[in-house]
A and B are shown apart, each in its own frame.
Chain A
Amino acid sequence: MNKQERMPIYEALERYKKMRIVPFDVPGHKQGQGNKELTNFLGENCLSVDVNSMKPLDNLCHPVSVIKEAESLAAEAFGAKHAFFMVGGTTSAVQAMVMTACKRGDKIIMPRNVHRSAINALVVCGAVPIYVNPGVNKELGIPLGMSYEDVKTAILQNPDAKAVLVNNPTYYGICSPLKAITELAHQHGMLVLVDEAHGTHFYFNDKLPASAMSVGADMAAVSMHKTGGSLTQSSFLLINNEVREGYVRQIINLTQTTSGSYLLMSSLDISRKNLAICGQEIFDRVIELASYARDEINKIGGFNAFGKELINGDTVYDFDVTKLSIHTREMGLAGIEVYDMLRDDYGIQIEFGDIGNVLAIISVGDKELNIERLISALSEIKRLHTKDKSGMFDHEYIDPIVAMTPQEAFYASKVSMPIGESEGQICSEFVMCYPPGIPILAPGEGITADILNYIVYAKEKGCFLTGTEDINIEYINVVAQNS
Chain B
Amino acid sequence: MELWFTEEHSENVKFSIKVDEHLYSEQSKYQRIDIMKSYEFGNFLTLDGCMMVTERDEFIYHDMMVHVPMAVNPAIKKVLVIGGGDGGTVRELTRYKSIEYIDLVEIDEKVVVACKMHLQQTACKLDDPRVHIYFEDGLRFVRGKENEYDLILVDSTDPFGPGEGLFTKEFYGNCYKALNEKGILINQHESPYYQMHKNSLEMAYEKMVGIFPIMKFYGANIPTYSSGQWLFGFVSKKFHPVKDLQEEAWKAFGLKTKYYNTIIHRGSFALPNYILDLLS
CB neighbours (8 Å) of A368 from chain B are 137
Q: Given the known inter-chain contacts A379-B143, A383-B177, please indicate yes or no for A372 contacting B169, CB distance below 8 A.
A: no
- In chain B, positions 14-57 with a C-beta closer than 8 Å to chain A are none
Nearest to A292 among chain B residues (CB) is B140
Q: Determine the distance from Cα of A141 to Cα of B164 in the docked complex, in whole angstroms.
A: 36
B28 to chain A, nearest CB (A): 14
- In chain A, positions 332-354 with a C-beta closer than 8 Å to chain B are 345-347
| Cβ of B168 under 8 Å from chain A | yes
Main secondary structure of the interface of A (DSSP, over half): helix
Using a Cβ–Cβ cut-off of 8 Å, how many residues does chain B contribute to the interface with A? 14
By the criterion CB–CB under 8 Å, are A345 and B169 in contact? Answer: yes
| Cβ of A366 under 8 Å from chain B | no
By the criterion CB–CB under 8 Å, are B173 and A373 in contact? Answer: no
| Cβ of A232 under 8 Å from chain B | no
By the criterion CB–CB under 8 Å, are B137 and A380 in contact? Answer: no
- In chain B, positions 156-182 with a C-beta closer than 8 Å to chain A are 162, 164-165, 168-171, 173-174, 177
Q: Determine the distance from Cα of A102 to Cα of B135 in the docked complex, in whole angstroms.
A: 60
- In chain B, positions 114-145 with a C-beta closer than 8 Å to chain A are 137, 139-140, 143
| Cβ of A1 under 8 Å from chain B | no
By the criterion CB–CB under 8 Å, are B174 and A380 in contact? Answer: yes
Q: Determine the distance from Cα of A327 to Cα of B183 in the docked complex, in whole angstroms.
A: 33
By the criterion CB–CB under 8 Å, are B165 and A380 in contact? Answer: no
By the criterion CB–CB under 8 Å, are B168 and A369 in contact? Answer: no
CB neighbours (8 Å) of B170 from chain A are 346, 373, 376-377, 379-380
CB neighbours (8 Å) of A19 from chain B are none
Q: Given the known inter-chain contacts A369-B162, A373-B139, A376-B139, please indicate yes or no for A346 contacting B174, CB distance below 8 A.
A: no
CB neighbours (8 Å) of A380 from chain B are 169-170, 173-174
Q: Determine the distance from Cα of A380 to Cα of B162 in the docked complex, in whole angstroms.
A: 21
By the criterion CB–CB under 8 Å, are B171 and A376 in contact? Answer: yes
CB neighbours (8 Å) of B143 from chain A are 372, 375-376, 379
Q: Determine the distance from Cα of A376 to Cα of B177 in the docked complex, in whole angstroms.
A: 12
Q: Determine the distance from Cα of A122 to Cα of B165 in the docked complex, in whole angstroms.
A: 47
By the criterion CB–CB under 8 Å, are B140 and A372 in contact? Answer: yes
Q: Determine the distance from Cα of A368 to Cα of B174 in the docked complex, in whole angstroms.
A: 18
Q: Determine the distance from Cα of A380 to Cα of B207 in the docked complex, in whole angstroms.
A: 13
By the criterion CB–CB under 8 Å, are A379 and B139 in contact? Answer: no
Q: Determine the distance from Cα of A337 to Cα of B170 in the docked complex, in whole angstroms.
A: 17
Using a Cβ–Cβ cut-off of 8 Å, how many residues does chain A contribute to the interface with B? 14
Pick the most buried of B140, B170, B174: most chain A CB atoms within 10 A of its CB: B170
CB neighbours (8 Å) of B137 from chain A are 368-369, 372
| Cβ of A54 under 8 Å from chain B | no
Nearest to A384 among chain B residues (CB) is B173
Pick the most buried of A345, A372, A377: most chain B CB atoms within 10 A of its CB: A372
Q: Determine the distance from Cα of A369 to Cα of B140 in the docked complex, in whole angstroms.
A: 9
CB neighbours (8 Å) of A345 from chain B are 169
Cβ-neighbour of A373 out of B162, B165, B177 (below 8 A): B165
Pick the most buried of B162, B164, B168, B177: most chain A CB atoms within 10 A of its CB: B168
Q: Determine the distance from Cα of A346 to Cα of B168 in the docked complex, in whole angstroms.
A: 7
Nearest to B164 among chain A residues (CB) is A369
Q: A256-275 vs B: 1/0 string, CB under 8 Å?
A: 00000000000000000000
- In chain A, positions 292-329 with a C-beta closer than 8 Å to chain B are none
CB neighbours (8 Å) of B139 from chain A are 369, 372-373, 376
By the criterion CB–CB under 8 Å, are B168 and A347 in contact? Answer: yes
Q: Determine the distance from Cα of A375 to Cα of B144 in the docked complex, in whole angstroms.
A: 11
By the criterion CB–CB under 8 Å, are A372 and B165 in contact? Answer: yes
Q: Determine the distance from Cα of A13 to Cα of B171 in the docked complex, in whole angstroms.
A: 46
A377 to chain B, nearest CB (A): 4
A410 to chain B, nearest CB (A): 46
CB neighbours (8 Å) of B164 from chain A are 369
Q: Determine the distance from Cα of A154 to Cα of B139 in the docked complex, in whole angstroms.
A: 52
Q: Determine the distance from Cα of A384 to Cα of B171 in the docked complex, in whole angstroms.
A: 14
Q: Determine the distance from Cα of A293 to Cα of B123 in the docked complex, in whole angstroms.
A: 34
A242 to chain B, nearest CB (A): 51
CB neighbours (8 Å) of B162 from chain A are 369
A266 to chain B, nearest CB (A): 30
Q: Determine the distance from Cα of A384 to Cα of B169 in the docked complex, in whole angstroms.
A: 12
Cβ-neighbour of A383 out of B169, B171, B173 (below 8 A): B173
B173 to chain A, nearest CB (A): 4
CB neighbours (8 Å) of B173 from chain A are 376, 380, 383-384
Q: A379-396 vs B: 1/0 string, CB under 8 Å?
A: 110011000000000000
18 A-B residue pairs with Cβ-Cβ distance under 8 Å, sorted by A, are A347-B168, A368-B137, A369-B139, A369-B165, A372-B143, A372-B165, A373-B165, A375-B140, A375-B143, A376-B139, A376-B168, A376-B171, A377-B168, A377-B169, A377-B170, A379-B143, A380-B174, A383-B177
Which 3 pairs across A and B sit closest by C-beta, in order of nearness? Answer: A376-B170, A380-B173, A377-B170
